[in-house]
Structure 1
Amino acid sequence: MTHAAFTSALTDAVDALHGSAFPAALVRLIQQQVSFDCALLLGMERRPVYLYDNLSHQRELLFDRYLAGHFGQDPFMQALANGLAAGVWTLAEVSRGPLDPDYRQRFYQATGWQEEVGLILPIRPRLTLVLFLGRLGKRRALSQSERARLEALFPLLHSLCRQHWRQAEPLLAQSAAKANPASQDGAMLRQAIADGMASIGAELLTRRERQVAALLLQGLDTEAIADALAIGTGTVKNHRKHLYGKLRIGSQAELFSFFLNHLITAPEPGTVQDQLSPAP
């Protein structure tokens, strides 16, 4: 790393503030100090909200499983729920005993992450960012000097993030506001929404449960869903109860949040995901 390269990366990050390119610029700034293979940025409100990633390996599997519910087994998320302070943390520091075998298999073995560091970035009440930095394969573990560089950089990163996400508007509302169906890409966006409704919870829900979920997302009540599917209202209630349980949610509002996560992360990079990035 040279001083000129770091200054250039910092300038890019500042210039990108309040725009959709900021998360990528933030990660590039970090990579001027410490090298990582992959990064994942989430905002923690009621449940994780996807903000950015540069994953190239097993990306779909990671999101289908992690955001669908396995985040609850993540030691970083468990530690955050128990009051983990702002700063730079390693997986070993936040883990309480051995990792859950199911989570290890579904996440670490499936994605190939061998080293993980989490940056905990409180932004405002009820919003904390978690930036995961991972190394793949047999790369060496984080050294003491690399840890020291990350910790020295942390106050700057924290300040930049507070500036970028200082709005009180919920992250999911920002994401939804960025998607403008009247734009020239409106037809593509509407198709992506339709596809997303049809595929929500694909690995977890039955075909009928996905149908009920799609109708709930369209704002239909129990009786309207029963009429649309030619089933009884009691059956609709049972399907709703089961799909809520499988998705680990408790309300229609949380279903909408789950759907936006699904919609944001499902498309190929450069399409609808860009339209649903956090708005300035």
Structure 2
Amino acid sequence: MEPTKGKTYRSTLALTFDERVIAAFASLWRCLGTADFSAAVMDVLDAVCATDSCGILVYYRQRKPLSLLHRFNPVQRKVAADIYSTGPYALDPQYRLFLAGCPTGAYWLRNVAPDDFYSSEYYQTFYSKTGVADSIDVLWRIDDDSALVFFMQRNIHSNEFTAADLTALNMVLPILSEALTKHYQLATALPQANPDDKTHQQVECTLSHFASSLLTKRERDVLLYMLRGYSSALTAQKLNTSDGTVKIHRKNIYRKLEISSQAELFSLFINCIPFARPDEDSDPLQLYQQNHRL
């Protein structure tokens, strides 16, 4: 296999209506009310701001994300397209933004991520598997509990997004928002996630109870910020305490969990998700360790 060649994309801040952009918008109007409409929206976004990989998710407050489309173009090794929905989404800054109630808009990862996110184990382990280096999410609110997310990604061999890319996306967003509103007045409702799938409940249970049998509440607060990519300094600000105190908590977390790195912490958290019992207050880590000893 030939090595992947990097690309340099130009920003379309002036929104030049070249042949590709015109064709994408024309297709958008043709597809109103049809099953091809969501993909047509993605085509418009990709014409305005070029990507290496892109796709569409539905975010739910009470269920795991549902994948509607994934144009996956990994540059390192192939991974399952649904790996995001098995648990890593819970630590995604853009998903956390959705949970916080952000409005319809374009959100650049570098603007919403915690200060240590790019050196966090979540970024190093999850993003490195997909080859993604940078991303912008165009989020369209359906209601308080759900949203369509058009994710746009560039890989490690391409240039990152720029402020001009974000501006261009925000300029076409009002048009797309009106088109989406009209489409869902004409079309059937969005497909729903499988109500019998307990993954989201297990993820939420793991967030709520992971290591609760070993750590104090304050240590668990620090642990969750560690998993999401917050530095000691920013964690201290969030918890209204000192940087030194947070560092002490981090040392205690490592000692009590018998680990020595954030890589081990992240792996332990992900491995515990299948052992979570949403109807109980039990610690998934304790159940994972018991199973591991058998």
TM band (smaller chain) = 0.5 to 0.7
Distance 1:33 1:78, change over 3 A: same
Partners of 1:136 and 1:28 lie apart in 2 by 18
Task: Look up the match of 1:145.
Answer: 164
Partners of 1:247 and 1:24 lie apart in 2 by 36
Distance 1:89 1:137, change over 3 A: same
Partner residue of 2:114 out of 92, 96, 103: 96
Partners of 1:247 and 1:10 lie apart in 2 by 47
Indicate the larger mover: 44-53 or 159-168.
159-168
Task: Look up the match of 1:48.
Answer: 65
Deviation at 1:105, TM superposition (A): 2.8
Correspondence 1:134-213 to 2 at 5 A = 134-166=153-185, 169=189, 171-172=191-192
Partners of 1:159 and 1:59 lie apart in 2 by 36
Partners of 2:175 and 2:125 lie apart in 1 by 34
Alignment check: 8 A CA contact 1:44 1:128 kept: yes
Task: Look up the match of 2:24.
Answer: 9
Indicate the larger mover: 70-79 or 4-13.
4-13
Task: Look up the match of 2:291.
Answer: none
Alignment check: 8 A CA contact 2:154 2:161 kept: no
Aligned pair count?
187
Partners of 1:3 and 1:248 lie apart in 2 by 52
Partners of 2:173 and 2:191 lie apart in 1 by 22
Task: Look up the match of 2:151.
Answer: 132
Structure 1 stretches lacking a partner, 5+ long: 177-196, 205-242, 252-280
Residues 1:83 and 2:101 are matched in the alignment: yes
Query: What TM-score results when the alignment is normalised by the length of structure 1?
Result: 0.57
Q: SS of the counterpart of 1:162? A: helix
Distance 1:128 1:3, change over 3 A: same
Which amino acid counterpart does residue 246 of structure 1 have in structure 2?
Answer: P
Which amino acid counterpart does residue 10 of structure 1 have in structure 2?
Answer: F
Deviation at 1:61, TM superposition (A): 2.9
Q: Which whole-Å deviations, capped at 9, do the CAs of 1:88-142 have from their partners, x for residues lacking one?
A: 1111111122127332133211111111111121023422112110001232222
Q: SS of the counterpart of 2:150? A: strand
Runs of 4+ that moved beyond 6 A: none
Partners of 1:125 and 1:86 lie apart in 2 by 11
Partners of 2:141 and 2:130 lie apart in 1 by 27
Which amino acid counterpart does residue 75 of structure 1 have in structure 2?
Answer: P
Partners of 1:102 and 1:23 lie apart in 2 by 33
| RMSD value, Cα | 3.3
Residues 1:73 and 2:91 are matched in the alignment: yes
Q: SS of the counterpart of 2:180? A: helix
Partners of 1:42 and 1:130 lie apart in 2 by 5
Residues 1:39 and 2:54 are matched in the alignment: yes
Alignment check: 8 A CA contact 1:87 1:154 kept: yes
Partners of 1:105 and 1:153 lie apart in 2 by 32
Task: Look up the match of 1:236.
Answer: none
% same residue: 18
Alignment check: 8 A CA contact 1:38 1:133 kept: yes
Which amino acid counterpart does residue 52 of structure 1 have in structure 2?
Answer: L
Task: Look up the match of 2:220.
Answer: none
